[in-house]
């Protein structure tokens, strides 16, 4: 017999602090790196949906881009539809477009909207979301719903309502369709010279059109009262 019993510090009778070989301490709480893994999957999904749309992107492709097993994508998000909804969630930063666009002379509202929207679309964080929704709207009902919300219920409607026109919903949708058409030409189809044009050139070109949609005459004197109010200011 040695001077100390197995598992006890010599002369104290207390545990030595050594664990038996092969035994590991029990883990508690969230698995380390779980949040980082989920975030990597979301970033990869935004890129995949932005490049390929809902129909073209696959769980396997997203997993490959994120560097994880496809089973992990299913673990965190279940289905491709749920992954799409999570990945395409519009950041809260988009809400800042409204006060920025409204802050300034009323007669320059159209140009400010064009400038702020193009700045958003040119940002690496926002462009995949915009492209993913636009590319997917024709084939996926959830994406189509998101698309309609952007056009008719989002920041465009808030800005149109701020002009105090009775047909704000129509005006907001006209602004949205104009900008989505620009996005298709510039970022998806990449039609030159639109695709390579300087941002300010596009702002000056489409700003007056957006201004008319928001505050000008929509042709109410030629078939229905669509909003013949005088421009703001």
Looking at residue 162, what is its pLDDT?
84
- Say how far apart CA 101 and CA 76 lie, in whole Å: 37
Please tell me which residue, 167 or 101, carries the higher pLDDT value.
167
Percent of the chain with pLDDT over 90: 32
Residues 6+ apart with CB under 8 A from 59: 70, 73, 74, 80, 83
* The pLDDT of residue 160: 84
Q: What does the domain layout of the chain look like in residue ranges?
A: 34-87, 92-216
Q: What is the pLDDT of residue 30?
A: 41
What pLDDT score was predicted for residue 91?
A: 66
Model pLDDT, residue 32: 42
Q: What is the mean pLDDT of residues 48-60?
A: 90
How far is the first Cα of the chain from the last one, in angstroms, to the nearest whole number?
Answer: 100
Q: Give the residue-averaged pLDDT of 197-209.
A: 96
Cβ atoms 214, 110 nearer than 8 A: yes
pTM score: 0.66
Domain 34-87 has CATH 3.90.930.12: no
Class of domain 92-216: mainly alpha
CB-CB contact of 25 with 50 (8 Å): no
Residue 122 has a pLDDT of 86
């Amino acid at each position: 017999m040695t001077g100390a019993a197995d598992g006890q510090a010599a002369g104290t009778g207390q545990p030595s602090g050594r664990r038996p070989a092969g035994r590991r301490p029990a883990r508690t709480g969230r698995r380390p790196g779980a949040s980082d893994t989920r975030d990597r999957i979301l970033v990869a999904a935004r890129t995949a949906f932005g490049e390929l749309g809902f129909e073209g992107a696959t769980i396997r492709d997203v997993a490959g881009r994120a560097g994880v097993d496809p089973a992990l994508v299913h673990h965190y998000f279940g289905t491709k539809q749920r992954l799409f909804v999570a990945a395409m969630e519009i950041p809260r930063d988009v809400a800042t477009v409204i006060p920025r666009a409204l802050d300034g002379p009323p007669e320059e509202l159209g140009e400010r909207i064009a400038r702020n929207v193009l700045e958003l679309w040119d940002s690496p964080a926002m462009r995949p979301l915009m492209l993913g929704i636009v590319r997917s709207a024709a084939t996926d009902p959830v994406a189509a719903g998101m698309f309609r919300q952007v056009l008719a219920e989002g920041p465009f409607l808030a800005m149109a309502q701020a002009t105090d026109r009775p047909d704000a919903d129509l005006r907001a949708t006209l602004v949205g369709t104009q900008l989505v058409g620009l996005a298709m030409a510039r970022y998806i189809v990449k039609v030159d010279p639109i695709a390579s044009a300087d941002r300010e050139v596009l702002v000056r070109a489409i700003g007056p059109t957006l201004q008319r949609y928001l505050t000008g005459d929509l042709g109410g004197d030629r078939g229905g009262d669509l909003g013949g109010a005088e421009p703001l200011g």
